[in-house]
Structure 1
Amino acid sequence: MTGRDFDAAFRAELTELFRWRRDVRHFRPDPVPPALLDRLITVADLAPSVGLSQPWRFVTVDDPARRAAIRVNFAASNAAALSGQAEGKASLYARLKLAGLDQAPCHFALFCLPDPAQGHGLGRQTMPLTLDYSAVMALHSLWLAARAEGLGLGWVSILDPEAAKASLDVPEDWRLIGYFCLGWPQREEEIPELEREGWEKRHASERLAR
């Protein structure tokens, strides 16, 4: 049996997919077909995981009351984050509106199991955070697949995780990895929003030899 060969054209397209992945903040209201969301989660299940444990759990959030609770959580956390910004960054931070919670047709949360039976503990005894890393790998796989479908994804990290867990009524020991907005972006820009707004710019990674 031979491995799959990926030609130069495919590799170039893959690089473009990485380059055009975005943290989207502004969405159109058009719904995301349930079958498409199912397809994205199927792709996420192909992600690598420590010990093949697949510790991730996706929770879709459709109930208006639960979405409203997350919105309140975000508002309080965002106000606290704004108050902690340095003087030179506060006004810029205030301009970076995360409208996805109000606009995006699809919301979901990603959780990690603390000690899944699947995988039999392989590879995580000395580094238990590899479970969380595995869940993030699943999310990144879904993110790229969503981008390839023309969808945008926004990561809402400005939340109180324990309050979010309570709002979503999940098992107490699940760890929140993130809350996400998914939908069709209002527009596509070649330069990411945070870079366009002057918050930060991308730098090449440093590589150290030992």
Structure 2
Amino acid sequence: MTDTPSRPDELARHSAKMAKKKAARDKIMATKSGEKGLIIVHTGKGKGKSTAAFGMIFRCIAHGFPCAVVQFIKGGMETGERNLITTRFSDLCQFHTMGEGFTWETQDKARDIEMAQAAWEKAKGLILDPRNRMVLLDEVNIALRYDYLDTAEVVAFLKDHKPAMTHVVLTGRNAPEALSEAADLVTEMELVKHPFREQGIKAQIGVEW
């Protein structure tokens, strides 16, 4: 019959294991000292791409860092993020909704391209402004997917002209491979389950917008 370890023995083994983990972690962290402005991509079919990006924008605001948002696709519908930023934090975060809705809603490709190009011009100016710690290009990947913008041009601009300490976050499904390759951080949101598909639940205030 095997003796059951006593509680003190379990705690001692756990402490020793955690001490080894901490030592290994500290050794890794000691080699990480660099800082740079990151190109960050949130893509995939799962929910949460823009939500996570706005979380970083709110972190910048909380730290008092100037930042900016350009929305490429989403139209004039009110959202919680935009309302909060424009009414409470407009001194720190510029917010530009440049789209007029998804292409199946506008049904006007020429107009969609025109609006996407205007949004990109606005985005470039905000990225080049060294005062902005972070610039969020919300749903820009959709504009790239439909060829409203030239992916090579966007990637070249980010690589060649983005200020060294400016973070740029690009969201939307189907991020082009060239953009993901150029990025420093890429997260793909995986769809496991969604109430819209599983239960016929529509988008709801406080969850989706």
Q: TM-score, normalised by structure 1?
A: 0.25
Q: TM-score, normalised by structure 2?
A: 0.26
Of structures 1 and 2, the larger Rg is shown by 2
